[in-house]
Structure 1
């Protein structure tokens, strides 16, 4: 009897330990050090397009709420109009103004190194996001662009039974993000020898440019089963195929409102299936919370990979309803969700999914 009781107690303790381990694996480990007297700044290299403007609005919304909640004392925002000399000067001003952390969307991976080093030497936490600097004192919050290409290829292969002809729409020639996405596409396609790239155009991440370039190349191509993209180009590609009279291929969308609206129309009319994925302007909120958590004492890796926003057919209606005409799907990143991203990077776990609106 005593042996059975001992075994029962051991099993109970084991179950409790497993339950605690499971709970800790899903609960965000939020650092609670006092940051209520601290200031967090945002240096944006450019604010001249709608994506960057929404990025600024997203940062300000979360920072303003953090001030109201007593999480931080103040915040500040500056934009450099694509001038790295001006951006470096603005960062130097933030150093003099006593900011405790600065989130930076850098206009160059090297030209800001001096200003970044000066900030670090002054004891300021620097978080560079949606890009990089080569100064290694900075934390880096960024996407894995190659994984975007892999997601697209794996989806297309699944829909086409691992074989078919692909048209690739790239971004801007010479851009590092364009290269990373394209390299990811072609690397992933090596696993599917019957997927063939039959054409490539540069759409410059712009619907009208993509439409023109696809329309120009289509007469030279065989049947196209799928179009792999980089964002902002899906609707233009769809319009080019519609005008050509060809069968509509699978076109990967990029979370713009016009892309989501067109996808819904086709889905409702004939069951059209695709997926949509892209970066989000509100990645600035991830940078904000990463900086705040570092200030609060959390152990944060120097490199934090963040998830692209992926929209599937089940979530399409919710994201479309939440995305303004002319806009792009843009979730709000809470402190809890960002801490889960940080913990996933620390532990080598899958990144948490971004929940659809109202979930």
Structure 2
């Protein structure tokens, strides 16, 4: 049960799920896999989930469009014994199984990287994600908590919707309106945001963004100009076990097996061989679980 499909990762997510379902170890266990996307309409996603439950599906897996509003779906699943699990964007609810990464930590590390390489001052462009989602809110909050410690950093916020095309447009508009920036944070859609910087012939600045292939290609192309891509062991996947109506569900975390699953932070002006160690994105790791 997908929601938003407006960026390349969501398309990859769906294709990965379908491909995994066709593997020998999974195909024999599934009698039917149905995949639909409901866009950014919360009511439409809720209605579709309820329809799957009423049709007698054994499980409903959802990338939730909002953190709120799904309580009636959870109650319906409890009545029928249907397993409901959310991943990536999760709910403010402890009573279902949820799988996500520490997105507050992602935002915090972006903030620390940028504050350091901006020398604690200057103008920061924050390219936010899809409004209302848990991932967007957590990454923004993690970044903001750090940046607020530096009174000389001015933040300009734009909404890129985690999409390359939208990100490229809003960054280009921001440059046209505000002029030069000293750093940029991008939740996703980093390839488009970087293209806007390059197209505008903007001076190369510290950039913290998602480890997307297009972005990594730009890193490689700009390596001769001194591009650093520090990698950190930062993401864990957190399970919230279904609590059968209880409020305090237990949690357990599984650590990332390599350093190759972070968001990628870049700083023009320095080089690092560790850039070459990027072997996969955070989200690819989560799907592999």
Note whether the superposition's TM-score is higher than 0.5. Answer: yes
Tell me if 1:309 matches 2:262: yes
Tell me if 1:272 matches 2:227: yes
| Residues 88 and 99 in structure 2, CA contact (< 8 A), matched pair in contact too | yes
> In structure 2, which of residues 13, 18, 35 is the aligned counterpart of residue 78 of structure 1?
35
Deviation string, structure 1 residues 283-326 (Cα, Å, up to 9, x no partner):
9xx79xx799x9xxxxx835869876334754544547x7xxxx
Aligned-partner Cα distance in 1 for 2:50–2:66: 10
Tell me if 1:263 matches 2:192: no
Report the equivalent of 1:53.
Answer: 11
Deviation string, structure 1 residues 29-63 (Cα, Å, up to 9, x no partner):
xxxxxxxxxxxxxx334557543332223234444
Q: Please, which runs of 5 or more residues in structure 1 have no aligned partner?
A: 1-42, 295-299, 323-327, 339-359
Which structure has the bigger radius of gyration? 1
Aligned-partner Cα distance in 1 for 2:30–2:52: 20
Q: Once the 2 structures are TM-superposed, how far is the Cα of residue 74 of structure 1 from its aligned partner?
A: 5.0
**Matched residue of 2:62: which SS?**
strand
> In structure 1, which of residues 204, 210, 222 is the aligned counterpart of residue 161 of structure 2?
204
How do 1:31-180 residues align onto structure 2 when only pairs under 5 Å count?
Answer: 43-45=1-3, 50-65=8-23, 67=25, 72=29, 76-82=33-39, 83-84=44-45, 85-93=47-55, 96-97=56-57, 99=58, 101-133=59-91, 136-173=94-131, 177-180=135-138
| Residues 6 and 163 in structure 2, CA contact (< 8 A), matched pair in contact too | no
Aligned-partner Cα distance in 2 for 1:45–1:159: 36
> In structure 2, which of residues 150, 167, 173 is the aligned counterpart of residue 216 of structure 1?
173
Deviation string, structure 1 residues 324-345 (Cα, Å, up to 9, x no partner):
xxxx78635587xx4xxxxxxx
Aligned-partner Cα distance in 2 for 1:333–1:171: 19
Q: Once the 2 structures are TM-superposed, how far is the Cα of residue 254 of structure 1 from its aligned partner?
A: 1.9
| Residues 65 and 132 in structure 2, CA contact (< 8 A), matched pair in contact too | no
Structure 1 residues 125 and 252 mapped into 2: Cα distance closer, same or farther (>3 Å)? Answer: same
> In structure 2, which of residues 146, 161, 168 is the aligned counterpart of residue 188 of structure 1?
146
Structure 1 residues 118 and 256 mapped into 2: Cα distance closer, same or farther (>3 Å)? Answer: same
Tell me if 1:244 matches 2:206: no
Deviation string, structure 1 residues 53-98 (Cα, Å, up to 9, x no partner):
322232344444473597x5656233153422123202332xx24x
| Residues 88 and 135 in structure 2, CA contact (< 8 A), matched pair in contact too | no
Q: Please, which runs of 5 or more residues in structure 2 have no aligned partner?
A: 244-248, 266-271
Point out the structure with the larger helix share: 1
Report the equivalent of 1:33.
Answer: none
Structure 1 residues 178 and 186 mapped into 2: Cα distance closer, same or farther (>3 Å)? Answer: same
The TM-score, its normalising length taken from structure 2, stands at 0.71
